[in-house]
């Protein structure tokens, strides 16, 4: 195969403190990869401004001019979230043209030199190369625990996402073509690329602390991401509701039989007031819980049937 044209996609939300340094660092890596004949000279960086409220977009426009179009980008009209920004980037580089695309965060927390190993796997014939974080030293204990819980829950629910893989990955042109066939509005990319069944490799990398700015994720946005991931890739919670419902009916029949038995043979029925209240509370709670799970899926269906645009681009620099 010829030397591949690489596109590096970077989602940016209020990253004015990072974007220039990051682009420079990626170009240093590009220089090394071009000299060692691993990527072609027309490889480029694609920045997606996810509706930033700071100077991110004007910096991107400046980089586009300074680097003669080797920095390209688009600006969303509003903040659509990191997954949509990545998706837009992937679709854009497919349109523009590339042999493979790598997505990486704007704060370069992921070690960009792992991309060299990604390319090695790509030339060995892998269509998807997932970066796996070596450890979570830079994360708080809270983030570590919740992240681990998330991956474990996903795996229990039958969604095979690799543990400690965020969105640092290489995908081939072929994977991008396949992605185009999917019309779901909320694609959870980690789950998605893993489910395609394309040849996948894993590469470990070190995580660095964020070099400037603050994390753009808070507890709520991570919860939304996790719930989206679960409900768009697993029907296990739905099945769980059915099984639970069946068990409840069975249990209810047993309790009912017991009540009849007491009434007929022991004749002490006025008792049991407390039991009744407890049962009502417990069952009420379980029902609400189940309704909540169903609600999650109804929400997903609601989102999908509307067929709304997944993101709206304001400006694009090619
Ligand atoms: N990001 C985005 N839209 C958002 C939130 C985040 O495009 O609504 C980008 C952000 O600019 C960064 C990447 O997603 O490039 C990862 O975000 P961050 O580093 O803040 O997350 P963390 O590393 O703390 O999980
Ligand atoms: Mg980060």
Binding pocket residue ranges, ligand 1, CB within 6 Å: 11-13, 15, 50, 79, 81-82, 85, 105-107, 109, 210, 215-217
What pTM did the predictor assign?
Answer: 0.85
Contact assessment for residue 99 and residue 25, using Cβ atoms and an 8 Å cutoff: no
Characterise 234 by phi-psi region: left (phi > 0), alpha (psi -120 to 50), beta (else).
beta
Give me the tens of pLDDT residue by residue for the chain, a chain 318 residues long: 689 999 999 999 999 999 999 999 999 999 999 999 999 999 999 999 999 999 999 999 999 999 999 999 999 999 999 999 999 999 999 999 999 999 999 999 999 999 999 999 999 999 999 999 987 777 788 888 888 888 888 888 877 788 888 899 999 999 999 998 888 777 889 888 888 889 999 999 999 888 999 998 888 888 888 888 888 777 788 778 778 877 877 777 777 777 777 777 776 666 776 677 778 877 877 888 888 888 888 888 887 887 777 888 889 998
Say if residue 1 is exposed, middle or buried (CB neighbours under 10 Å; 0-12, 13-18, 19+): exposed
Q: What pLDDT sits at residue 224?
A: 85
Locate 163 and state its tokens. 């543990």
| Ligand 2 is an ion; residues with CB less than 5 A from it | 105, 107, 109
Contact assessment for residue 300 and residue 186, using Cβ atoms and an 8 Å cutoff: yes
Distance CA 220, CA 262 (A): 50
| Gap from CA of 125 to ligand 2 centroid (Å) | 30
Q: What pLDDT sits at residue 166?
A: 84
Q: What pLDDT sits at residue 101?
A: 98
Q: Which of 13, 90, 205 for a ligand 1 pocket mutation test, highest count of atoms within 8 Å of Cβ? A: 13
């Amino acid at each position: 195969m010829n030397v591949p044209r690489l596109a590096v996609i970077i989602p940016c939300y209020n990253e004015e403190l990072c974007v220039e340094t990051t682009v420079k660092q990626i170009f240093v890596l590009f220089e090394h990869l071009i000299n060692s004949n691993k990527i072609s000279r027309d490889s480029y960086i694609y920045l997606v401004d996810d509706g930033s409220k700071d100077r991110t977009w004007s910096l991107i426009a400046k980089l586009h001019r300074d680097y003669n179009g080797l920095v390209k980008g688009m600006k969303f009209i509003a903040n659509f979230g990191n997954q949509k920004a990545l998706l837009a980037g992937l679709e854009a580089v497919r349109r523009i043209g590339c042999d493979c695309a790598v997505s990486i965060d704007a704060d370069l927390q992921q070690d960009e030199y792992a991309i060299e190993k990604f390319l090695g796997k790509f030339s060995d014939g892998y269509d998807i190369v997932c970066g796996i974080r070596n450890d979570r030293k830079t994360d708080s204990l809270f983030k570590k625990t919740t992240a681990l819980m998330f991956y474990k829950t996903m795996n229990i629910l039958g969604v095979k996402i690799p543990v400690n893989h965020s969105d640092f990955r290489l995908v081939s042109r072929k994977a991008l073509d396949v992605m185009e066939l999917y019309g779901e509005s909320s694609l959870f990319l980690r789950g998605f690329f893993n489910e395609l069944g394309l040849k996948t490799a894993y590469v470990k990398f070190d995580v660095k602390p964020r070099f400037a700015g603050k994390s753009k994720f808070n507890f709520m946005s991570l919860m939304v991401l996790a719930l989206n991931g679960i409900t768009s890739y697993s029907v296990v919670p739905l099945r769980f509701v059915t099984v639970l419902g069946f068990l409840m009916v069975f249990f209810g029949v047993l309790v009912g039989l017991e009540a009849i038995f007491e009434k007929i043979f022991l004749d002490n029925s006025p008792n049991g007031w407390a039991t009744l209240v407890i049962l009502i509370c417990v069952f009420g709670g379980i029902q609400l819980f189940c309704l909540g799970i169903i609600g999650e899926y109804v929400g997903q269906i609601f989102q999908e049937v509307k067929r709304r645009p997944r993101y709206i681009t304001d400006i694009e620099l090619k």
